[in-house]
Amino acid sequence: MRRKLGNMEMAQATTNEHFPFNAVIVLRVTNGPSEETLKTLLDYMQHRHPLLGVHIQKEKNRYFFVSEGTPGIPIKVVGRQNNEHWKHVVEEELNCKLDIFTGPLVRFTYLKASDNKKESEIVITFQHSVMDAISGAHLLHEILSFCQEIESSGDKDVMEKFKILEPLRPLPSVEAFFPPSFKGIQRKWNVFLFILRQMGDEFRYRLRTRGKRKAPIHPTAKCKILPMKLSKETTDVLLKCSRKKRITLNNLFTAAILMAVHKHLYDGQARPLRHINTADLRPYLNPPLDPQYFGSYFSMMLFTVRMKENPGVWGLAREISDIIYSSLKRGDKFCANLLSYQMMQAVFRFKSFRMAATAMSFTGPVMLEKNYGKIGIQDIHAFVSNFVVGPEYTALVNLFDNHIYWDILYLDSDMDHEQAVVIADEIRTILDSAVKEKS
């Protein structure tokens, strides 16, 4: 296999050349699989999914996925020390580059339970160009289903059954699946209009933030994590309120993280703030892509939100909803994807500004069973590396087993743990107040 990277994939590859840029998924389980089962699993996964068996080759300014010469997926087995051990492992993984030019673009760590304990963690680290949130959730289902069948049957021939499954065909980059209005001459026109809108937004943003606080850029930084789990009761009420008010959870959570950062980092002053959101492209492609096909089929959307003093969360969520709806209706998600490589090149060339104040991605419900045979799922977490010119406060949010999980990430050069906790508590307070606020 030799396949040229698309624009978003190149943006992620070039980011990895400057800073560690990994996505890390944590599967916290009881009665975890054996080491032998996991090692067998990795052989199967690399056989089944083309992008799990590639490295990146760079030729001048072009990048390619290449399968020939890529080694097997590595796994490190570590004795689990305590319930907090996985957090330290995740931070190490977020801050340690994958060697994308040797490959593979994924690695596993298994925090194995001691003899008298049932808990363990499977930590999966991958370069974002080979997997997005949708395919990441499918990966977890495949892992758990495979381990369940291997360990419940005890039949060595089970692996042979998996091997007869044909490898999935390699797919081209996302641009090949764009709708007709974002191909050929029409695409150039739409991109031109998008650039004009972005230039206008940039001019207005600079004008309205003149003399106001600018996020500092530090020469070095390490990623730190802060998981936050909402109760079933809070989750249930938020879901009901969101449906009743016809505001998506994504827009509500965007409002919450902006309000918290606005209050604690920007003194609550009236001013614009920038936020990065993730747009899943899979449903809008031609044809729509099934989750079993791994790849980077999303777009990073940058929005400017005019923050007022003491905004109401539902009112702000509606403003954000209108901004996002208009943008998506115009097809800006395709334009942002097409220009992502050039944008990241500019960010790293100048290193003169932070990309945004906040970033948040709500991946929605994680469609997994609570138990796969004897293996039980306790929690699921996911994080993406940040870097010195990235947003000041970021989070991946998912819904699993009637709980909302906020997987928050910050840089130690921006704040200490105590301040990160203060902002996280503010988000919790805002969401608690959202179910009481009349709007």
CATH number at 222 reads 3.30.559.30
Domain stop point among 147, 174, 201: 174
Question: Is 377 a member of any domain?
Answer: no
Q: The domain that contains 93 carries what CATH number?
A: 3.30.559.10
210 Cβ neighbours under 8 A, 6+ residues apart = none
Residue 187 near residue 181, CB atoms below 8 Å: yes
Closest CA to 175 of 345, 61, 4, 7: 7
Domain stop point among 145, 174, 203: 174
Same domain, 242 and 343: yes
Domain of 16 in residue numbering reads as: 2-174
Same domain, 277 and 341: yes
Rounded (5°) CA angle 117-32-383: 105
Q: What strand order describes the sheet that includes 223-229?
A: 223-229, 403-411, 393-400, 358-365, 271-280, 298-307
Same domain, 121 and 267: no
Model confidence, pTM: 0.94
**Three-class SS of residue 179?**
coil
Mean pLDDT estimate for the chain: 93
Rounded (5°) CA angle 219-394-357: 70
Cα dist from 93 to 30, 89, 132, 134, whole Å? 22, 6, 17, 21
- Based on the structure, what is the number of domains in the chain? 2
Same domain, 301 and 323: yes
Same domain, 194 and 335: yes
Domain stop point among 119, 149, 174: 174
Same domain, 108 and 130: yes
Same domain, 201 and 349: yes
Q: What DSSP line would sit under 307-327, residue for residue?
A: EPSS--HHHHHHHHHHHHHHH
Same domain, 132 and 190: no
Quick one: pLDDT at residue 154? 62
Give the mean pLDDT of 120-135.
Answer: 95
Question: Is 344 a member of any domain?
Answer: yes
- Give pLDDT tens digits for 81-99: 999 999 999 999 999 999 9
Give the mean pLDDT of 366-374.
Answer: 92
Same domain, 233 and 157: no
